């Protein structure tokens, strides 16, 4: 590994950061402003305005039309025009026509959705490499999956390090890699974040900068809480909790490669490059000197859950009761989120989509397995997570959360807290979700700002 790589930064830019030529110019300014920004991971061009269509979605349409035997030339022509427009505005001679002809041929031959979707990043990577004057590295050559689509970490690290060893600069498109036979395989949506994380680990980067259209991770969803505060510093563990519960700034699986290597992630705003953003660090680093200023770090949640409520006298004395209930779910391929219980009651929280169309069968099999006194399925439940490493050191946090909800006359359906005391998960009715977020935010953030005179 070269000295340059030891002091390098990996920078990933999302689709909104590369939506048009103006955004490309911002990206180049950001990269050239810091010589350490050596390895660049681009997404496909995103929306230029609210009614616009992402390149990835247009490619999915092409693949669907091809699979149905329909003509997709018009959509492919729109994709070509987008890239040509960017190239022309930047004064480049880049022309994707030949590549798009090859893509069209592959689609007519039955290419997969993964192949189609990956071409947005592939073409954008070629365009950005041309604009920056950096070498282009096809992710299919360095990101490895097995036959079932699982990332092969050891092989990927070996290939990335070998390929980049003599490259002080490079553009590596995000979102995809290749399987054993060279077939293109993609990560789930937002997977370019994972590619950036893998590159950062491979070159042992100083930091992994993830550039997007917000100035960091916010304490709460800005669609619910106006002008939500930015989290200055957050741990990997806290971010994973928030990501799992719906916070979407960073793909949750992007945390693992850099976390193992102790590389911090910095979430930055392409449109406001002077803003420090949010720094994501290990728990040890955060506890010493990087507090958010609030007892909690963030609030996140999701709708679309249901609860199976089971009651049976002397349930606690019946050996294997929970196992029998969960075995029914396992046999039907259904996973659950939480399982709060009492002496004679238990509830199982599930995503609605996992049992849709099978509700009666699930209840019938549970009745047969454990013969409950009563069993019911309750719909319309939301899960809300209050996350923060500061909660374990602060007395009365839970009391403040539930006081805020009680004052708003919001009924709590479920409470779950892990032994780490990193988060408290609350079950609510869907209709109370947004107000619950606002009330908890007011209790922990707005009240703190008021007390400090801000």
Domain positions in the chain: 40-203, 298-452
Task: Please report the pLDDT score of residue 6 as a whole number.
Answer: 59
Average pLDDT estimate for 107-129: 97
Task: Please report the pLDDT score of residue 268 as a whole number.
Answer: 96
Indicate the pLDDT class of residue 1, thresholds 50, 70 and 90: low
Task: Please report the pLDDT score of residue 246 as a whole number.
Answer: 78
Percent pLDDT > 70 in the chain is 94
Average pLDDT over all residues of the chain: 92
Answer whether CATH 3.40.50.620 is correct for domain 40-203: no
Topology of domain 298-452 in CATH is VC0802-like (3.30.2130)
3-state secondary structure the chain: CCHHHHCCEEEEECHHHHCCHHHHHHHHHHHHCCCCEEEEEECCCCCCCCCCCCHHHHHHHHHHHHHCCCCCHHHHHHHHHHHHHHHHHCCCCCCCHHHHHHHHHHHHCCCCHHHHHHHHHHHHHHHHHHHHCCCECCHHHCCEECCCCCECHHHHHHHHHHHHCCCCCEECCCCEEECCCCCEEECCCCCHHHHHHHHHHHCCCCEEEEEECCCCCECCCCCCCCCCCECCEEEHHHHHHHHHCCCCCCCHHHHHHHHHHCCCEEEEECCCCCCCCEEEECHHHHHHHCCCCCCCCEEEEEEEEEEEEEECCCHHHCCCHHHHHHHHHHHCCCCCCECCECCCEEEEEEEHHHHCCCHHHHHHHHHHHHCCCEEEEEEEEEEEEEECHHHHHCCCHHHHHHHHHHHCCCCCCEEEECCCCCEEEEEEEHHHHHHHHHHHHHHHHHHHHHHHCC
Task: Please report the pLDDT score of residue 372 as a whole number.
Answer: 96
Task: Please report the pLDDT score of residue 331 as a whole number.
Answer: 96
Average pLDDT estimate for 215-228: 92
Average pLDDT estimate for 250-265: 89
Task: Please report the pLDDT score of residue 383 as a whole number.
Answer: 95
pLDDT over 90 at 340, yes or no? no
The pTM for the full model equals: 0.85
pLDDT over 60 at 291, yes or no? no
* pLDDT tens figures, 318-335: 999 999 999 999 999 999
Considering only 287-296, 324-333, 349-358, 367-376, which range has the smallest mean pLDDT?
A: 287-296
pLDDT over 60 at 286, yes or no? no
pLDDT over 90 at 260, yes or no? no
Considering only 63-67, 229-233, 236-240, which range has the smallest mean pLDDT?
A: 236-240
Average pLDDT estimate for 438-452: 78
Regarding predicted confidence, which is higher, 243 or 15? 15
Q: Answer whether 436's CB lies under 8 Å from 415's CB.
A: no
Regarding predicted confidence, which is higher, 144 or 250? 144
pLDDT over 70 at 288, yes or no? no
Indicate the pLDDT class of residue 290, thresholds 50, 70 and 90: very low
């Amino acid at each position: 590994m070269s000295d340059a790589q030891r002091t390098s930064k990996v920078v990933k830019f999302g689709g909104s950061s590369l939506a048009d030529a103006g955004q490309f110019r911002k990206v180049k300014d950001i990269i050239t402003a810091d010589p350490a920004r050596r390895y660049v991971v681009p997404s496909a061009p995103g929306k230029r305005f609210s009614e616009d269509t992402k390149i990835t979605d247009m490619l999915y349409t092409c693949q669907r039309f091809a699979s149905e035997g329909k003509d997709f030339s018009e959509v492919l022509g729109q994709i070509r025009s987008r890239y040509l427009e960017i190239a022309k505005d930047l004064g480049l001679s880049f022309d994707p026509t030949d590549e798009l002809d090859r893509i069209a041929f592959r689609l007519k031959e039955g290419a997969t959705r993964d192949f189609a979707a990956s071409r947005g990043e592939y073409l954008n990577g070629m365009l950005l490499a041309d604009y920056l004057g950096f070498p282009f590295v096809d992710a299919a050559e360095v990101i490895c999956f097995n036959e079932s689509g699982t990332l092969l970490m050891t092989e990927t690290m070996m290939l990335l390090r070998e390929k980049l060893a003599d490259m002080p600069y490079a553009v590596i498109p995000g979102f995809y890699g290749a399987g054993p036979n060279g077939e293109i395989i993609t990560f789930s949506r937002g997977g370019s974040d994972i590619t950036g994380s893998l590159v950062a680990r491979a070159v042992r980067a100083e930091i992994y900068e993830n550039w997007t259209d917000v100035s960091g991770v916010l304490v709460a969803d800005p669609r619910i809480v106006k002008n939500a505060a930015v989290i200055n510093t957050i741990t990997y563990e806290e971010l994973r909790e928030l990501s799992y519960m719906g916070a979407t700034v960073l793909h949750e699986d992007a945390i693992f490669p850099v976390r193992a290597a102790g590389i911090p992630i910095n979430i930055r705003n392409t449109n406001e490059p002077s803003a420090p953003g949010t720094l994501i660090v290990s728990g040890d680093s955060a506890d010493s000197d990087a507090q958010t200023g609030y007892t909690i770090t963030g609030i996140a949640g999701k709708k679309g859950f249901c609860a199976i409520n089971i009651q049976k006298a002397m349930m606690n004395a019946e050996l294997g009761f929970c196992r029998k209930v969960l075995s029914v779910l396992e046999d039907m391929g259904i996973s659950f989120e939480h399982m709060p219980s009492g002496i004679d009651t238990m509830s199982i929280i599930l995503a609605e989509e996992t049992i849709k169309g099978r509700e009666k069968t699930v209840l019938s099999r549970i009745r047969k397995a454990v013969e409950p006194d009563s069993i019911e399925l309750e719909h319309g439940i939301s899960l809300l997570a209050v996350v923060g490493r500061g909660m374990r050191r602060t007395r009365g946090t839970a009391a403040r959360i539930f006081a805020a909800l009680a004052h708003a006359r919001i009924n709590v359906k479920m409470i779950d807290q892990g032994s780490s005391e990193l988060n408290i998960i609350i079950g609510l009715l869907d209709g109370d979700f947004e107000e619950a977020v606002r009330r908890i935010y007011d209790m922990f953030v707005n009240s703190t700002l008021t007390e400090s005179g801000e």
